[in-house]
Structure 1
Amino acid sequence: MLDEVDHWLERRSWSAADRPLPRLLAAKRAAGPAGSVSVVLPALNEEATVGDIVAAIRRDLMTEDVPLVDELVVVDSGSTDRTSEVAAAAGAKVVHRDELLPRVPTVPGKGEVLWRSLLATSGEIVCFVDADLRDFDSTFVSGIVGPLLTDPPLAMVKAMYDRAFGDSNVGGGRVTELVARPLLNLYWPQLAGFVQPLGGEYAARRSLLERLSFPVGYGVELGLLIDALHTVGLDALAQVDVGVRRHRNQDGLALGRMAAAIQRTAHARQARGGLVRPVLTQFDRSPEGGFTPHSHPVDTEERPPMRTVPEYTSRRAA
């Protein structure tokens, strides 16, 4: 590990308990408009979990006594279940992906939803939380928002945690360990200190997010982290321990598609040149015997920095 990263770990890694809520609320009041907080949940068919997450945030962080979060938005990316209804009933503002920036046709992918969410929110601090978390604790929000309120030089804060797998508190994060961590250590060793570089729970200043490109698919977290490093430097990045993360674990084929998108995102940032559109071929055993190939396109599109979008700049000016 680089000496720079070793020192960074000492100065920029904390526990959520290091910043109790009274301290955060005082910092938020002192910050004024710059301390406004929007929480975004990107959601696709998450009716089983999204309501509990929304309810916990509203109960713990959006009350008269604890007004830490100003805005809670669920962006539905085309759910076929009752995700939108459940989220709205729990108290979230629900926006459908296709309603945001309608002149730009939507494409499937988490990064697409996160990019468009900047048009649906107004907070100067934007906090992203995955909508499939189980046993959700609101410190996932307060923990990562906290350093941005108390430490103005910081621009992005990632959550770190143990990743549960099945009934165990460890064993998750397979794509992180097999793909993302080796890539970061090889090509971006300044980022080697991040425990969960692909984690979906992170907060950032809008002034940073609107300057970054967003890969439309699974590569969005890696892409944002690498680009944030090059934009604001390592000392403006931090991480906070929030405990254990439980969510719906995906099967090996889905993880393979995720890994391919992450590899592509990393490769694009190494070369910053044109790429052929890659295809990933995977295999299922056929009921008739043998294996059946299935080919999947790997996400290659990226959305431009939001501050280059006229609809966004005019909305911010207004």
Structure 2
Amino acid sequence: MLDEVRDWLDRRSWAAADRPLPALAAAKRAAGPAGGVSVVLPALDEEATVGEIVAVIRRDLMDGPHPLVDELLVLDSGSTDRTAEVAAAAGAKVVHRDEVLPRVPAVLGKGEVLWRSLLATSGEIVCFVDADLRDFSADFVSGIVGPLLTDPGLQLVKAMYDRPFGDSPEGGGRVTELVARPLLNLHWPRLAGFVQPLGGEYAARRTLLERLPFPVGYGVELGLLVDALGLAGLDALAQVDVGVRRHRHQDGQALGRMAAAILRTAEVRLPRGSDGLAVRHRLTQFARADAGGFAARTFAVDEVERPPMLSVPEYAARRPA
């Protein structure tokens, strides 16, 4: 297994600079309709960063001499700030989560927004980018879209990067290091070569995404990666180094809730145990109470998963035969 991972790392890991933008634009033109690219930014109260991300993508990948992106969508999942206004002013199409597939009541969660974005976009390549990134570079898009345009055998490409936190250049990604990486190494060792398995920047072919279930919450990235391995195989997956990722960091309790959702996502993808014990899909955390001592707060762990989009009649009806 270790030799397989090393071989995959050698053949399926690149840097963004390996595929210059003019060459990618030429590959996109040659691909025709199969080279259509939609970029999706799931956003919740990101007015401070979403405008710059949209502006960079428009300037470098849509309006410049080497256009790569056909569609730029900000899918707002219920912002109470100026996220939608800022994104639209910068040049994105903005759609509210509840406007997509309104017959299915929306639930809270990043994965819910990503799932619905398949109905709100048309590109045969779909690229997801988190909306809280700072010092954003167009490499985050062109780097991961590029291999899909130049290698028809690839199905999903994830970004890899440094994640500075505090004084440490590599201190970010705490849930990755403490939860996701151990899980993958123990149970899905063929995925152990992914540097950022939980990263929110990845691109995939629509024909893959529409066949995958989407965990509605923070487990979505782990779920999609594991399921893509099962459906497409390791050789159809790849990663590209895009530099440094700077973003807003969560506090410890928020990370705990993320970890619980990821563990639950992994749990349903593992063979069931034989002890017959019920699993409690709740996470209890503690905070110092004003009156002294600690107050317990219990949160539900995301349990809902949306079915493959191909099973949704509204989506299937609009796809060509």
TM-score, normalisation: structure 1: 0.98
Task: Write the mapping of 1:93-172 to structure 2, written as runs, cut at 5 A.
Answer: 93-166=93-166, 168-172=168-172
2:308 alignment partner, one of 294, 305, 310: 305
Gaps of 5+ in 2: none
Deviation at 1:169, TM superposition (A): 2.8
Residue 167 (structure 1) shift? 5.3
1:249-260 paired onto structure 2 within 5 Å = 249-260=249-260
Q: 1:129 Cα shift?
A: 0.1
Letter of the structure 1 residue corresponding to residue 318 of structure 2: R
What per-residue deviation string (whole Å, max 9, x for no partner) do you get for residues 230-282 of structure 1?
00000000000000000000000000000000000001100379975511000
- Structure 2 counterparts to residues 182-261 of structure 1, below 5 A: 182-261=182-261
SS state at 1:265 partner: helix
AA matched with 2:6? D
**Paired residue for 1:295?**
298
Post-superposition shift, 1:166? 3.1
Residue 147 of structure 2 aligns to a residue whose secondary structure is: helix
Name the SS of the counterpart of 1:32 in structure 2. Answer: helix
User: SS where residue 268 of structure 2 aligns?
Assistant: helix
Distance 1:59 1:168 in 2: 32
1:75-126, CA deviations, whole angstroms, 9 ceiling, x for partnerless residues? 0000000100000000000000000001101000000000000000000000
* Alignment correspondent of 2:319: 316
Superposed CA RMSD in Å reads 1.4
Q: 1:271 to 1:93 in 2, by over 3 A?
A: same
Structure 2 CA distance for partners of 1:277 and 1:96, relative to 1, 3 Å: farther
The CA distance in 1 between the partners of 2:227 and 2:272, in whole Å, is: 12
Q: For 2:191 and 2:223, how far apart are their aligned partners in 1?
A: 12
CA–CA separation in structure 2 for the residues paired with 1:236 and 1:212: 15
**Counterparts of 1:251-290 in structure 2 under 5 Å?**
251-271=251-271, 276=279, 278-290=281-293
TM-aligned CA deviation for residue 287 of structure 1: 1.9
Aligned match of 2:28: 28
Q: Offset of 1:170 from its aligned partner?
A: 1.9
In the alignment, is the contact (CA less than 8 A) between 1:169 and 1:244 conserved in 2?
A: no
Question: What is the CA distance between 1:286 and its match in structure 2?
Answer: 1.0
TM-score for both structures, normalised by structure 2: 0.97
Give the equivalent residue in structure 1 for 2:176.
176
- SS in structure 2 of the partner of residue 164 of structure 1: coil
CA contact (8 A) 1:277 1:297 kept: no
Q: Partner of 1:91 in structure 2?
A: 91
Percent of aligned pairs sharing the same letter: 80
Change in CA separation of 1:272 and 1:158 when aligned onto 2, cut-off 3 Å: farther
Which amino acid in 1 is paired with 2:294? Answer: F
Aligned mates of 1:165, 1:202 — CA distance in 2: 22
Q: Which moved more, 1:270-279 or 1:297-306?
A: 270-279
Equivalents in 2 of 1:266, 1:286: separation in Å?
33
Runs of 5+ unmatched residues, structure 1: none
